[in-house]
Amino acid sequence: MWRLTLLTFLTLAQLIWALEFTRHTQTVEVTPDQSTIHVDYAFSNPTKHKIDIAKIDAPCTCLSATLLDKEKLANKSTSIKPGAKGYVRATLDIGNFKGQLNKKLIVWTNEKGAPPQVLNLNVKVPSLVTAIPKSLSWKKNVKASQKEFSIIVSDSKPYKIISHKASNKNFKYQLTTEKEGYAYKLTVTPTNTKTPCFAAIELTTDSTEPRYQKIHCYLSIKP
């Protein structure tokens, strides 16, 4: 009986780890001017038979996957020979996103009973211009009190706010400079809180990097 149990365990282990990845999770910190990154996940086929990669799912339009050989050249074949090595390259379009991004690729093989393998990609994009807090809210039919955002520039070079606008006239605001290029205060007061609504104040900076040209301060009156 124990031999059968051991055989079953070894068979399952072989199925689960038929295609071995060196790392399933990678963490990357990008530079302020990066809009696209490439991250490679090394794998090998330690079995004595070929393994076919059936598909690689990228559940986000900003993420794509490419299969590479051991020389990191495009591999048109999805069949991985015994002992062969290669890479799954994840390409992430960061766009103007700031903060923490967590994405994943899902790799499916033709191994019967083998679950898909998940490749995690954690990306930290520096937030050099930040609104604190990210949003302000008021309760419906409660006194329309004044609240404020702090706009903080954490870069070594200054970012001046050159224009601003609100998407809803129900919110009156005032922008004051505390330290030119580095610190601002944005005070906001609703004219009334009778009707639930959502709005944003958009601040535009003189940054040459598109990622840091817009700051959005979100506002809401909740039911």
- Ordered domains of the chain (ranges, CATH): 20-125 (2.60.40.10), 129-222 (2.60.40.10)
- Give the pLDDT of the chain (223 residues) as one tens digit per residue: 444 343 343 344 444 557 899 999 999 999 988 999 999 999 999 989 999 999 999 988 999 999 999 888 888 888 999 999 999 999 999 988 889 999 999 999 988 888 899 999 999 999 999 999 999 999 999 999 999 999 999 999 999 999 999 999 999 999 999 999 999 999 999 999 999 999 999 999 999 999 999 999 999 999 9
pTM above threshold 0.95 = no
> Which two structure tokens, joined as six digits, stand for 99?
């903060």
Residue 40, classified by CB atoms within 10 Å of its CB into exposed (0-12), middle (13-18) or buried (19+), is middle
The C-alpha atoms of residue 174 and residue 137 are separated, in whole angstroms, by 17
